[in-house]
Structure 1
Amino acid sequence: MSSESLQLNLSGGVDPVEFENRLREHLQALSGLLYFGFGRNLPGSWGAADCTLDLLFADTAPANLDSVLGELPGIAGVDRVAYRRIGGGLREPGLTGGIWRTLLLRVRPQATAEQRAALERDLLRMPDYIGGIRNWQLARVSTPGRWTHVWQQEFACVDDLLGEYLIHPYHWAWVDRWFDPDCPDWTVDAIAHAFCPLQSSLLGRAASNPDN
């Protein structure tokens, strides 16, 4: 299986409901697509696009993915990354009506292998301290581009993300040092923070596939 996360910018004046309907129609042309998740990013997203689109394929992504998206009216820009999961977990695989959060991040080229490994370890320990993270996944980007990692979480409501998660002591007193250029442990030099409504758990569906 293969997974992709895309940030989509929409052209001015595009109706997001009509766009989503057309998107669903176009995605039917993709061979091997197991499922997809789509949502309009909410206010407070930072460094991201207008919408988040996640795709899971039975095998590698089809070669015509770019052309299918290019034929879809209303797309002004695409930031596309393929990735491979390195860790994650589920507390509530049947979650519905929640929030899907995607953090794209770039490990700076000067970072050591030890710093990279420690960053990954600390991110994956966040759910041990932050109960509002219902499901989570950390992955390394497998395609060329500016991003190196994708850190995804599912929350029951937006307050769990903007409240407990962002202000938790483990977050700002421990994890933030990897993102702070004034700290000796500085490892991440760019991020894109996006969150959008989630109809049903994407990570729960991925885990239900025995090949994932």
Structure 2
Amino acid sequence: MRLETAQIRIHTNLCTGKSTQEQALLARIESLPGLRQVAIGRNLAGSWGAGDYTLDLRFDPAPSGSTGHDDGLAAALEGVAQVDRVAYSPISDGLRAPQLRQGIWRTLMFRVRPEAPECQVRSLEQDLLRMPEYMPGILNWRLARVLSPGTWTHVWQQEFASAEDLLGEYLMHPFHWGHVDRWFDPEFPEWTVQAISHAFCPLATSLIANHNRREEYAP
């Protein structure tokens, strides 16, 4: 399978009638060749460095010799103010609540410093993947490396039952501040991440479980 996520910013004069906006966007996207699954959610207050919507797509595998990052989506989203889009390959994931309904989908896209040693990047990845051990509110999760050229190097996604689990336990947990934050803070010698985009939006059903239910991927 081929996975993509995007942050979509709409023009200011279109910021009313969000249900109509979502339906119009979905109608244009759903005709893309090879598309197997699509989800879109309007980002909630507290998101930053992100767009108005989070869009997630699952495609059939790209043909041999193809990068899989064609301009079909760009054409479908013509007229949208800005699209920040990545294709990615999962490193690892986990499921505690595959039947999750009406939850919260969080997407953190980040860029590691080009001069960061590879061992440091791997340690950062390992600390992120340890977070669910300490935070039961993270119900499902996936860490991935970005394949497409652009701003971001990684995508870190989590599913929660409510926004309170993200804004409370996750962001305020001692493991977050004591272990994970050092990779994101330029005042620490371990500083590795130089830019982030943090978005969260409503989630109808678990995207991670739906992806895994249809086909497995190799790390």
RMSD over equivalenced CA pairs, Å = 1.1
Asked whether 1:55 is paired with 2:64, we answer no
- What is the DSSP-based 3-state SS (H/G/I as helix, E as strand, rest coil) of the residue aligned with 1:174? helix
Task: Tell me the CA shift for residue 28 of structure 1.
Answer: 2.4
- What is the DSSP-based 3-state SS (H/G/I as helix, E as strand, rest coil) of the residue aligned with 1:35? strand
Q: Equivalent of 1:152, from 145, 151, 157?
A: 157
**What pairs up with 1:73-88 in 2 under 5 angstroms?**
73=79, 75-88=80-93
Match of 2:120 in 1: 115
Amino acid at match of 1:37: A
In 1, distance between residues paired with 2:208 and 2:117? 30
Contact 1:30 1:62 in 2 (8 A): no
**What pairs up with 1:1-212 in 2 under 5 angstroms?**
1-14=1-14, 15-60=17-62, 61=68, 63=70, 64-70=72-78, 73=79, 75-212=80-217
Task: Tell me the CA shift for residue 13 of structure 1.
Answer: 2.9
In 2, distance between residues paired with 1:28 and 1:109? 36
Name the stretch that deviates more: 126-135 or 21-30. Answer: 21-30
Provide structure 1 residue ranges, at least 5 long, that are not aligned to the other structure: none
Amino acid at match of 2:95: L
In 2, distance between residues paired with 1:19 and 1:46? 21
In 2, distance between residues paired with 1:210 and 1:25? 25
Q: Deviations over 1:173-193 (max 9, x none)?
A: 110000010101000010010
Contact 2:37 2:59 in 1 (8 A): yes
In 1, distance between residues paired with 2:49 and 2:27? 28
TM-score, normalised on structure 1?
0.95
Task: Tell me the CA shift for residue 27 of structure 1.
Answer: 1.7
Contact 1:31 1:62 in 2 (8 A): no
Q: Deviations over 1:18-43 (max 9, x none)?
A: 11111221122111111111111100
In 2, distance between residues paired with 1:10 and 1:41? 12
- What is the DSSP-based 3-state SS (H/G/I as helix, E as strand, rest coil) of the residue aligned with 1:82? strand
In 1, distance between residues paired with 2:212 and 2:82? 30
Amino acid at match of 1:191: I
TM-score, normalised on structure 2?
0.92
- What is the DSSP-based 3-state SS (H/G/I as helix, E as strand, rest coil) of the residue aligned with 2:199? strand
In 1, distance between residues paired with 2:193 and 2:69? 31
Match of 2:65 in 1: none
Name the stretch that deviates more: 29-38 or 117-126. Answer: 29-38
In 2, distance between residues paired with 1:162 and 1:65? 32
In 1, distance between residues paired with 2:153 and 2:55? 18
Provide structure 2 residue ranges, at least 5 long, that are not aligned to the other structure: 63-67
Stretches of 4+ aligned residues off by more than 4 angstroms: none
